[in-house]
Structure 1
């Protein structure tokens, strides 16, 4: 029982990080796009983001990965993701 819960948490943890890294580039504006080049600190990169919005992206990653995880878990428990079925679908003999 506990090993299954640990496996599910590990899969969700990896999925969350993948979704989080996918959401990182969305909504990022650098200083040249926002026209704050005049306010730059000397030595700073003009391509550096003005704000990263990490909390919002972490929330979106949590919601999206929970939805993906729920669909994948349902598909697994329904038998849609069995090795035999996937090997036939992909054309690989067992």
Structure 2
């Protein structure tokens, strides 16, 4: 895997993990708007903490993906998934 494809894979993993981490630990506003009842955004979203957690989890997942991609365990050139020779 080259550095461009590695960066793209990391970016995709990071975004997926971010959307998985965002709702964790959020509490809605207790009192809604008096007219519409809409509660809006969470009181304390703690976004920097979630960005840090997302980055750490994404790094671990990226190293796992890198190890899987560069290994021969999941390969189309050899093993069970190999293309038949002509």
Please report the TM-score for the alignment, with normalisation by the length of structure 1. 0.70
Distance 1:85 1:48, change over 3 A: farther
Contact 2:74 2:81 in 1 (8 A): no
Q: Could you tell me how far apart the structure 1 residues matched to 2:80 and 2:43 are?
A: 45
1:68 is displaced (CA, Å) by 0.5
Q: Could you tell me how far apart the structure 2 residues matched to 1:86 and 1:29 are?
A: 48
Encode CA deviations 1:67-92: one digit per residue, 9 max, x unaligned.
Answer: 0110111122221222365748xxxx
Higher normalized helix content (fraction of residues): 1
Find the residue that maps to 1:51 and give its secondary structure.
coil
Q: Structure 1: 5+ residue runs without aligned partners?
A: none
Cα root mean square deviation, aligned: 2.7
Distance 1:53 1:86, change over 3 A: farther
* Aligned structure 1 segments of 4 or more residues deviating by more than 6 angstroms: none
Matched residue, 2:6: 8
Please report the TM-score for the alignment, with normalisation by the length of structure 2. 0.75
Q: Structure 2: 5+ residue runs without aligned partners?
A: none
Equivalenced residue count is: 82
